């Protein structure tokens, strides 16, 4: 009896926040053989290839790959220029896609961002996958540009593409804004968010890995854009409580009047919007087409 071949999956950005969780997830749940493409290879058990390798070397490494998952990207806008994003997002994505075409990889999954839709749903309905994109910063615009590259370079090939737009992803070793909140939690001082009743969607790293794994082979995923979340809209207080529970750290709140946040907002509009504003996503399409439901146990 012939043994079934292991699925071969290539992952770019395997050393990043999502990649470090996704790679072991794919090995454990799919029994996949992994080829990782990174800027700085490490001593892992996977076949690793550096982006500094020649295109020919990368094409050779990608031969026989069933799916490539493109995670590598510049994510944060602080101290980053348009040129930085063009180099690390658009130019890298164009190169990866060209390699996929030559290597004839059947499916490419691109991890985009909800920032392609916009930064806030305050005063409007939740974002959907079919909304006209309205990125509001250079990061969101660069992710939209990469989505467009995906469609343009793969449309007239036999390669199927999948785009996933998650909101903030939380897990162990959080980055960016969630890391800042965890730092505040760790100081064990009361936090002034007890009265906030805003609504923001997040996704756990576990749910995101599960969705990506599903999109590797699901027939309905082909050539589609999906939004992702835990399917629970949380207030800033709820988000902090969620992070504190994962760290097993008690947290206390006090009520700061809403007018105080309104008064401060002109001085730090982006920070106050993230703390007090809404960012909700509608994942009805994701659930109905893929039969996927996030696990919120």
Extended beta strands in 174-270, E state: 200-204, 224-227, 233-234
Q: How many other C-beta atoms are found inside a 10 Å radius of the C-beta of residue 131?
A: 17
Dig out the tokens for 123 from the structure.
């005063």
Known catalytic membership, residue 139: yes
Which residue is it, tokens 């071969």? 8
Report the alpha-carbon distance of residue 35 to residue 21 in Å, rounded.
Answer: 15
CA distances from 93 to 61, 162, 228 (A): 17, 14, 21
Spatial CB neighbours of 180, under 8 Å, sequence gap ≥ 6 = none
Sign of the CA dihedral running 64, 161, 50, 13: negative
Report the alpha-carbon distance of residue 112 to residue 135 in Å, rounded.
Answer: 12
The H or E element spanning position 238 is: helix 236-247
CA distances from 199 to 67, 86, 118, 256, 267 (A): 35, 32, 15, 17, 22
Report the alpha-carbon distance of residue 194 to residue 255 in Å, rounded.
Answer: 5
Report the alpha-carbon distance of residue 110 to residue 216 in Å, rounded.
Answer: 11
Q: How many other C-beta atoms are found inside a 10 Å radius of the C-beta of residue 3?
A: 5
Catalytic residues: 139
């Amino acid at each position: 009896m012939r043994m079934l071949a292991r699925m071969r999956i290539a992952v770019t950005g395997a050393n990043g926040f999502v990649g470090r969780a996704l790679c072991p997830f794919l090995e454990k749940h799919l029994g996949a053989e992994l080829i990782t493409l990174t800027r700085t290879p490490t001593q892992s058990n996977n076949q690793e290839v550096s982006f500094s390798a020649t295109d020919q070397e990368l094409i050779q490494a990608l031969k026989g790959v069933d799916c490539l998952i493109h995670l590598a990207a510049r994510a944060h806008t602080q101290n980053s220029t348009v040129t930085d994003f063009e180099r690390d997002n658009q130019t890298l994505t164009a190169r990866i896609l060209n390699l996929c075409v030559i290597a004839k990889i059947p499916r490419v999954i691109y991890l985009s961002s909800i920032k392609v839709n916009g930064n806030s749903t305050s005063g409007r309905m939740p974002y959907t996958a079919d909304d006209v994109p309205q990125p509001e910063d250079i990061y969101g615009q660069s992710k939209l540009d990469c989505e467009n590259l995906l469609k343009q370079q793969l449309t007239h090939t036999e390669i199927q593409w999948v785009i996933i737009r998650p909101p903030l992803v939380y897990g162990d070793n959080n980055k960016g804004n969630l890391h800042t909140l965890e730092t505040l939690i760790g100081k064990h001082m009361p936090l002034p968010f007890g009265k906030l009743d805003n609504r923001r969607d997040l996704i756990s790293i576990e749910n995101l890995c599960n969705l990506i794994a599903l999109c590797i082979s699901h027939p309905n995923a082909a050539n589609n854009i999906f939004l992702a979340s835990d399917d629970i809209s949380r207030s800033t207080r709820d988000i902090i409580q969620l992070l504190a529970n994962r760290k097993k750290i008690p947290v206390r709140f006090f009520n700061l009047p809403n007018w105080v946040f309104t008064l401060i907002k002109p001085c730090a509009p982006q920070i106050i919007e993230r703390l007090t504003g809404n960012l909700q996503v509608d994942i009805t399409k994701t659930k109905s087409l893929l039969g996927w439901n996030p696990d919120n146990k």
